[in-house]
A and B are shown apart, each in its own frame.
Chain A
Amino acid sequence: MAIVIGILFTIGTYLILSKTLLRIILGTSIIGHGVNLLILTMGGLKKGGPPLLGLKESLFTDPLPQALLLTAIVINFATTALFLVLSYRTYKVLGTDDLEELRGCDDE
C-alpha cells in the first residue's frame, strides 16, 4: 500500500510542478487520492466486518478513519470544483492556461 501511495504522491507532485493549469488540477486530484488512501492505511488494513452493528460480526474495521475520509472526500470535491471553474474563468478572461504567461503584475 505504502508504495502505491508513494507513487501517487510522486506523480501528483510532478503534475503540479508543470505549467498547464489542467495538469495542476489533475495533480491535486491524484494527491487527494493518495492522501485518502494514506489515511485509510494508517487506520490499519486488518480484516474485519464493515462498521455496521447489525451484522453480528465480532471484529470491525476502524470506523474513525472512514468518517474522517468521508469529510475529506467531500471537501476535496468542493475545492476541486472551485478550482476547475476558476481555471475555466482564468482561461476565458486571460486567454492562456500557461502559468509562465500568467506571471508578473504591475506592482513589481
Chain B
Amino acid sequence: MVWLYLILGIPFLFAFLVPVLHKRFTPRIHTGWFVLWIPLLIFGILLSTVPTISSGGIIDLSLPWIPAYDINITLFIDGLSLIFGLLISGVGFLVILYSIYYLSQHKEALHNFYIYLLLFMGAMLGVVLSDNIFALYVFWEMTSISSFLLIAYWFEREKSRSGARKSLLITVFGGLAMLAGFILLTMMTDTYSIRGMIHNLGGIHSHTLFLPAMVLILIGAFTKSAQFPFSIWLPDAMEAPTPVSAYLHSATMVKAGIYLVARLTPIFGGGGVWFWLVTGIGLVTLFYGSFNAIRQTDLKALLAYSTISQLGLIMSLLGLGSAGLAPEAGNAQAAYALAIFTALFHLVNHSTFKGCLFMVVGIIDHETGTRDIRKLGGLMHIMPISFTLALIGCLSMAGLPPFNGFLSKELFFTAVLNASEISVVIPVVAWLASVLTFVYSLIMVFKTFTGQPRVKSGKQAHEAPLGMLIPPMVLAALVVLLFFFPNVLVHYVLAPAWAAVLPSLAQANLLTVHVSPWHGVTPELLMTLGVIILGGTLYKTLKKWVKLYRTYPQILTLNHIYETALELMESLSLSLTKRYMTGSLRDYLIYILSFIVVAVGGALVLAQGIAFDPSHDAALSIYELALLAGMVVCAIAVLLAETRLAAVIAVGALGFLVVFFFVLFRAPDLALTQLVVETITTVLFLLCFYHLPKLKKETTPLPSKVVNGLLSLAVGLVMTLVALSANGNPLPESIAGYYENAYELAGAKNIVNAILVDFRGFDTMLEILVLSMAGLGVYTLIKLRMAGGKENERS
C-alpha cells in the first residue's frame, strides 16, 4: 500500500527534474510531454481504489513527520477525497495536454510553468488526501503560493502582478484565519485527525470555542472558494494563462473551500449558525456572481463570475444539506441530506463544463487574438467544433437537457423547495439566480459565435489544432455522458462521498438516490421552464435593460472598497510612523521616560508598594546633611550655569562631594576610585570643552520647557518613591555576612577587593574589557578619518 504515497510524492519530486529536462530538450520537445504522465498515473492509482471505496472501505496510511507533536503526513482516501482526487488528476491531465498546444515552446518559460503546476497539483492532492489537520493546512498554503506564482506567470505585465497580489492577500488572510480555527478545533477535540474529531465530538456544540472556530474556518473556506465578499480576487486572477484559469480557478483550487466545508460538515453541521452562514453566503454569492456575469465584456471575466456563482450554488447546497444533521429535522432528514448529494453531483458537473468552457475561450483567444465579446462574433462557421463545445458547456451551465447541468439543477431546485419550509426566500433567490445564469450562458454562446464579426482582428481566425480541441472534447463528452448514465458515477463515486459527508445518516441507511432525467411533471420541471421563458425574454431585451448596470455606483463595488481600504491602511500607517518617528532625540527620550514613569509609578500605586518605614533608617548626622545640601547646590548650579566652564566645574564639585560621601559611609576603596575618576573626567571635560562651542542659552520654547520640567520632576519623584519604599518594605537578610569569611576563603582582609577579584572576578574581567573597548573607541574616533569627513572638518 505504501506505493500509494506516490500520489503525494511524485508531483513534488518530478518538479525538480523539470528544469533539467527543459534545458536538455528545448526546443525539440515540448516540456509538457514529460509532465503529462504524472496526473495520468495518479488518476490510474486513484481509479484502482474505487472498488474498495465504493464497497464502503477506506484507505488510511500515515507517515510520521513531526511525531513528537503528533503531526503526520497522512494519506486518507474515502469517497469525498476520491472525488476530489479524481477531479484534480483527471482535469490536470487534460489541462496539461491542452497547455502543450496552448503555450509556445519557443517563447515561454515552460519550466517555470510546469514546476508551478506540479507544485500546485501536489499541494491540492495533499489538501484533499490529508487527515491530519496541520498537514492539510500546510498543503492549503502551498496551493495559495503556487496559485500566486501561476497567476503572475507573465510577470512583466502589471495586471498579472496586481491580480496575483490580490489573490495572495485574500487567500492567505483566509488561510491564517483557518489555522486559528483549526487550533481552536484541536483544543476542543484533543486530536489532530479529522476522523478522530468526528469520532469524539462529545458536547462540542455547547463548547465556548465552538462558534469562533466555526467562523474562522469558514472565513478560510470562503476566501479560497471566492464566496461573497471575498470573491473579488477570482476575476482578477484571470490574467493567468488560460490552462491555469481552467484548472485552478474553475475545477480545483476554488473547490478547496467546498471540500473543507463538506469535510467538516459532520463536525459543525446541524446547528443553526452553520446552516445560515453557509447557505446564506452561498445564496448571496450565487446571486451576486450571476448578476455580475451578465455585464462582463471579457469572456474570461464572465466565466470567472459564473464560477463564483456556481460555487455559491454548491456552497448553499452544502448548507441546506447540513439541516439533515439537525436532530429536529426528524423525518425530513433524508430529504435535506439530498442537498449534499446534489452539491457533490454539481461539483463534478461544474468541473466538467467549466473546464471545457475555459478551454474554448482559450482557443478563441488563441485563434482570434481577443477575448472581448464586443469584438467577437460570427465564429460559428469558422470554428464549428469550438462552437459545439461552447454550446454544450453553456447549455449545461444554464441547466438544460440533455446535459448534466440539467440533472444537478433539477436536484438543486428540489433541495431549495425542501428548504422553503425553513424560509421562502431561499427558492426565490435560487430561481432568480438561475434565470440570470441562463441569460449569461446565452450571451456567451450567441454573442461570440453568431452574427457578424464586428472588428477584424489581425489574425485570420481559423479552427484550432486537434490537440488543443481534444481536452475540451473529452470534457464535453463527459457532460453528455453524465446526463445519460449518471448512475454509474453515482454508484461508484458519489454515494461513498455522500456517506463520508454524512456518516451518521449513512449508518441509518437514509442515503439512497436514483438520478434520472425524467421525473414526470414536477414543480422542479416547471421552475426550469420558467427559467427558460424568462431568461429567453431577458436575453432578447438585453439591450434595453443592460444600461441598468451603469446606474450602479462605482463606489459601492467590492473592488473599490478593497482598493480604498488598502490605500487607507498604507497612508494611515505611513502618517502614523511619520508622526511619532520624528528623528529628534528629545522626543524619543520623552517617550521612554514617560513610559518609565507610568510603568514604574503605576506598578507602585497598583501594588500598593508605597510604604515608608523610617525605623530601619539610620539617623542623619550633621556632616551628612551638609554634604547633601552641597550636592543639591552643585546640581542646581549645573542646571543654571550659563558658561560651559561653570557647568563643568559644578559637575566636578558634585563628584568630589560624592567622594566625601563615600568616605563618610566607610567605603575607602570607592572614595579612592571616585576621586581619581572624577579628576580624570573633569580633565577630559576641560580638554574637550576647549574645542566645543560656547554653551548657548537654551532656545527651547516655553511649553517644551514645561514638559521637560514636569517630566524630570516626575522621574525624580518616582525614583524617590522607589528608593523610600524599597527600604520601607521587608527585605530578606543580606548575604553580606558570607563575605566576612574573606580571609579564610580568599586570604584577603579587604573584603571589597576580595569580592572584586575573587568572589565575583568575572565582573571585573568584563569591566576591564569595557575600559579597553572605550579606550580603543576613543583612539579610533580621534585617529580614523574616513573619506567624506575631511571636507567638513574644521580646525
Residues of A in contact with B (beta carbons under 8 Å apart): 1-23, 26, 29-30, 33-34, 36-38, 40-54, 60-64, 66-67, 69-71, 73-82, 84-89, 91-95, 97-100, 103-105, 108
Contact = CB atoms under 8 A, between A and B. Distances in A.
A18 B693 contact: no
Given A77-B681, A78-B770, A97-B693, A64 B735 contact: yes
B658 A33 contact: yes
Given A19-B700, A45-B665, A62-B734, A10 B771 contact: no
A87 B692 contact: yes
Nearest to A100: B584
Interface stretch (B117-125, B346-354, B668-676): B668-676
Contact of A63 (B661, B723, B736): B736
Contacts of A95: 792, 794
Q: Considering residues A41, A42, A51, A54, which has the most beta carbons from chain B within 10 angstroms of its beta carbon?
A: A51
B749 A52 contact: yes
Contacts of A93: 789, 792-793
B133 to A, nearest CB: 44
Nearest to B750: A52
B719 interface: yes
A41 B770 CA distance: 26
Contact of B711 (A6, A11, A13): A13
B661 A37 contact: yes
Interface in B645-662: 647-648, 651, 654-655, 658, 661-662
A18 B781 contact: no
B708 A66 contact: no
Closest 9 CB pairs of A and B: A10-B716, A6-B720, A78-B774, A2-B723, A51-B751, A13-B712, A14-B712, A67-B755, A53-B749
A3 B333 CA distance: 80
A73 B771 CA distance: 11
A107 B665 CA distance: 52
Contacts of A64: 734-736, 739, 755
A80 B685 CA distance: 10
Contact of A66 (B582, B648, B734, B752): B752
B55 interface: no
Contacts of B770: 74-75, 78-79
24 contacts: A4-B632, A5-B723, A6-B720, A9-B720, A10-B713, A10-B717, A11-B712, A17-B589, A21-B692, A22-B644, A23-B698, A33-B658, A36-B658, A53-B743, A60-B740, A66-B752, A69-B667, A74-B677, A77-B677, A80-B681, A81-B680, A91-B691, A103-B582, A104-B583
B636 interface: yes
Nearest to A91: B692
Contacts of B421: none
Given A5-B723, A67-B760, A92-B794, A17 B590 contact: yes
A31 B645 CA distance: 20
Contacts of B735: 64
A8 B684 CA distance: 22
Nearest to A61: B666
Nearest to A8: B635
A63 B655 contact: no
A82 B773 CA distance: 9
Contacts of B638: 11, 15, 26, 30
Contacts of A46: 618
Q: Considering residues B632, B661, B680, B751, which has the most beta carbons from chain A within 10 angstroms of its beta carbon?
A: B751
A54 to B, nearest CB: 5
A62 B751 CA distance: 10
Contact of A73 (B670, B688, B742, B751): B670
Interface string B693-716: 101101110000000110111011
Contacts of A14: 639, 708-709, 712
A84 B655 CA distance: 17
A11 B751 contact: no
B723 A88 contact: no
A108 B763 CA distance: 41
A42 B651 contact: no
A70 to B, nearest CB: 6
A61 B667 contact: yes
Contact of B778 (A33, A54, A82): A82
B530 to A, nearest CB: 66
Given A37-B658, A51-B751, A88-B688, A13 B700 contact: no
A63 B755 contact: yes
B782 interface: yes
A32 B735 CA distance: 25
Contact of A53 (B582, B740, B778): B740
Nearest to A94: B792
B334 to A, nearest CB: 68
Given A45-B665, A50-B666, A50-B668, A10 B752 contact: no
B782 A81 contact: no
A51 to B, nearest CB: 4
B763 A22 contact: no
